[in-house]
Structure 1
Amino acid sequence: MKEDDDIADFQAEVAALLLEHVRAPLLEDQHVRGVLPAPDGAPAVRVALGDRDVSDPARLTAYEIPRASGGEPLTAHDVVALLRTVHTGTHVYPADRVTAVMGMDLYLVDPTQVQEAPFTTDDWSATLLRCLAQPSQDRPPPRLRGFLFREGGLLRLYMDSDEVPGVIAADVRPGGALTALLAALPSLLGEQGQTSAGPKDPHCRYVVDLTHW
């Protein structure tokens, strides 16, 4: 059934996105210690947080986040933003939204009552890098050869493509228009007229300035 497939896809996307936070903290010293599909086909995903390398259920906190909020589907990135909010500060949960599972305290999150934490520059950068490193078969972007975080919130991408010889770098300012940027990258890499000024980078033929894209 399509609804079941949507729930399964949502859970899989959350699990894939949160893999990096097994080692890198999701917030402060808190790491992802588990991602669980809600039982009985429920339209939700559960995430367990705790200190790095901790597996004692009594020291973990689990949150159940629904597939949709206010009739609108949530994304895996929404789950990350909600987790960062509910796991910090003081949040009062009604008794009927606090339970336990497998020895862990389990909180049932109502997204309509939570202000999502803002998406960080590193979040946007990680999303962009993941898209380039694992391109879609429908529209493969240029191949990612490397990257460098730079001052002022910029990210330098080192790429090659069938259209342009050698390694070309592009300076981008990670933000919300990632889909448009990914679609335009193949043609933008060849626009030497947009080459940025500054010290020569020995790791590429030239640098294209896409910071205002």
Structure 2
Amino acid sequence: MSEENHEIEDLQAEVAGLLLEFVYAPLLEDQHVRGVLPAPSGAPAVRAVLGDRNECVPARLTVYEIPLTADDELRTAHDVVALLRAVHTGTHIYPASSVTSVMGMELYLVDPAQVEEAPFTTDDWAATLLRCLTRPSMQQPSPKLRGFLFREGGVLRLYMGNGEAADVIAADVRPGGALTALLAALPSLLGKEWRTSDATDDPHCRYLVDLTDW
């Protein structure tokens, strides 16, 4: 298998893992992910099956095929989510050559050039951050995430631990585009005294670190 094929395979697996979250939580409105299919014949694409929650009848499901390549680069799993939300919102006209069927389900071949991607939401950023903290990489270990709470004003409170049951430090953050930098800096930022304050209204931590302006 070529390096490019390996990259496509890895990306298809990443998309499947990300879309798994939308089996129970809706991708948008009342639409849930009912399946994720690798495009046949090794094509560099992924097929996402959308429908109502718990729906299994093929005639009531819709499949969208999203190409994973863009010029000489690969799309990300989040790009796929953005495209899926976009194509399932509003009215889109597909040429006859882009509409077919597979396994009894209607299949649409999406042309990303004709679609404006839906914006990444605050909850999307928050979910990405939480996912990274619960599955830290070997290259970038992080303090253990022991809890979280969505706060007003787009703030996410993280409850971080270091192995001591009573030693929980809370950190208020604003999830956004610089997640990699935040994850790398988080272990040292948790100990910055000038950022700490007693969380008198929060009995779930020893103290609170304000990282909302980081």
State the TM-score bracket (shorter-chain normalisation).
over 0.9
CA–CA separation in structure 2 for the residues paired with 1:73 and 1:115: 17
Matched, 1:177 2:198: no
State the partner residue of 1:212: 213
CA shift, 1:162, in A, is 6.9
Q: Secondary structure at the match of 2:47?
A: strand
Aligned residue type for 2:144: R
CA–CA separation in structure 2 for the residues paired with 1:50 and 1:211: 37
Map residues 1-213 of structure 1 onto 2, 5 A cutoff: 1-161=2-162, 166-196=167-197, 199-213=200-214
Q: Is the 8 A contact 2:199 2:207 kept in 1?
A: no
Gaps of 5+ in 1: none
Aligned residue type for 2:114: Q
CA–CA separation in structure 2 for the residues paired with 1:84 and 1:152: 24
CA shift, 1:30, in A, is 0.3
Q: Is the 8 A contact 2:22 2:33 kept in 1?
A: yes
Aligned residue type for 1:182: L
Q: Secondary structure at the match of 1:124?
A: helix
CA shift, 1:199, in A, is 4.4
CA–CA separation in structure 1 for the residues paired with 2:144 and 2:80: 29
Gaps of 5+ in 2: none
CA shift, 1:198, in A, is 6.5
CA–CA separation in structure 2 for the residues paired with 1:142 and 1:206: 15
The two structures have a TM-score, normalised by structure 2, of 0.95
Q: Secondary structure at the match of 2:93?
A: coil
Give the RMSD, CA atoms, in angstroms.
1.5
CA shift, 1:201, in A, is 1.5
Q: Aligned pair count?
A: 212
CA–CA separation in structure 1 for the residues paired with 2:114 and 2:131: 31
Identity value in percent: 73
Q: Secondary structure at the match of 1:125?
A: helix
CA–CA separation in structure 1 for the residues paired with 2:114 and 2:198: 47
CA shift, 1:139, in A, is 1.3
CA displacement, residues 24-53 of structure 1 (integer Å, 9 cap, x when unaligned) = 100000000000000010000000000000
Aligned residue type for 1:139: Q
CA displacement, residues 68-101 of structure 1 (integer Å, 9 cap, x when unaligned) = 1233311000000000010111001111111111
CA shift, 1:197, in A, is 7.2
Q: Is the 8 A contact 2:172 2:212 kept in 1?
A: yes
Aligned residue type for 1:6: E
